Structures are given as C-alpha cells and as structure tokens.
Amino acid sequence: MVRSVCMRLLPILLALPSGIAWAETERQQELRHLVKHDCGSCHGLTLQGGLGPSLTPDRLKPFTAEQLAMTIVHGRPGTAMPPWLPFLSETEAVWLAQGLKEGVFP
Ligand code: HEC
C-alpha cells in the first residue's frame, strides 16, 4: 500500500523541476548567455532582428515552441541559420523556444 503510493508519486516528483515558473538552473543561465552572444550576433542583441529575423514574442506567435525548437536544433538548410544540436539538446531547445515566445530573453 505505502509502496504503491510512492510509485504513483514518483513521476509527479520527477516532473516537478520543469514545472517551476522560470526558476533558472545554472545550465539555463548558460543558455541565456548563448542567446545573447551567439543568437544575438545574427538576430540582434535585443533579438529585434539583424541578419536573421527578429525573435520577439509577437513575431513568434504563429509557431509552437516545438516548431521553433526544431529550427534551433536543425537550423534552416540553405540559410545562415546553423544547427545548434552540437551545443544544446532538444529539451533545451524547447526551453529556449518557450522563453523566446514568452519574451524572457535577452
Ligand atoms: C549565423 C547567423 C545565425 C545565428 C548565429 C542564429 N541564427 Fe537563427 N536564423 C538565422 C537566419 C538567417 C534565419 C532565417 C532563416 C530563414 O530564412 O528561414 C533564422 C531563423 C531562426 C528561427 C526561425 C524564425 C522564423 O521566423 O521562422 C529561430 C527560432 C531562430 N533562428 C533561433 C535562433 C536561436 C535560438 C539561435 C541561437 C541558439 C540562432 N537562431 C542563431 C540566422 C542565425
């Protein structure tokens, strides 16, 4: 009985850290740095656009975080947008995309 309650709680406990509203881990602060310095070199320091299009919440509204994450991970072949897979995971890319959509960067 006690054990079965534990087993039911476990997935909830495991899921918790991702559900906390924008508390950033050290790795997420690294990613924030990446957005400013690496993404910013093309998309503009304040993400208003440059060589790449602006990445403001308004502009990104039509896309889901997953769609944007795919672009971040794989890049856009044939354009200047490079694939970022060597530097971040898909989960991190979704987190980044979500942050862009919510306007928490740079
Ligand atoms: C070397 C320049 C360059 C860098 C660095 C770069 N991008 Fe891009 N990015 C582009 C270009 C150019 C496009 C537009 C591609 C196209 O025409 O479809 C783009 C498109 C995108 C899009 C899709 C936007 C849309 O309107 O479809 C997202 C999201 C994006 N970039 C995120 C990022 C993130 C996050 C980073 C940093 C991890 C980054 N980019 C770094 C050049 C860059």
**What domains are defined for the chain?**
21-102 (1.10.760.10)
Q: What is the CA radius of gyration of the chain?
A: 17
Look at residue 95 and tell me whether its pLDDT is greater than 60. Answer: yes
Counted residue by residue, the chain has a size of 106
Higher pLDDT, residue 1 or 35: 35
Q: How far is the CA of 5 from the centre of ligand 1 (A)?
A: 46
**Does the beta carbon of 91 sit less than 6 angstroms from any atom of ligand 1?**
no
Reduced to 3 states (helix: H, G, I; strand: E, B; else coil), residue 79 is coil
Q: Give the model's pLDDT for residue 24.
A: 80
Per residue in 66-94, pLDDT (tens digit) is 999 999 999 999 999 999 999 999 999 99
Cα separation, 40 vs 47, whole angstroms? 6
Closest residue to atom 37 of ligand 1, CA basis? 39
- The residue assigned the tokens 């790795």 is 27
Reduced to 3 states (helix: H, G, I; strand: E, B; else coil), residue 23 is coil
Per residue in 16-69, pLDDT (tens digit) is 444 445 668 999 999 999 999 999 999 999 999 999 999 999 999 999 999 999
DSSP state of 74: H
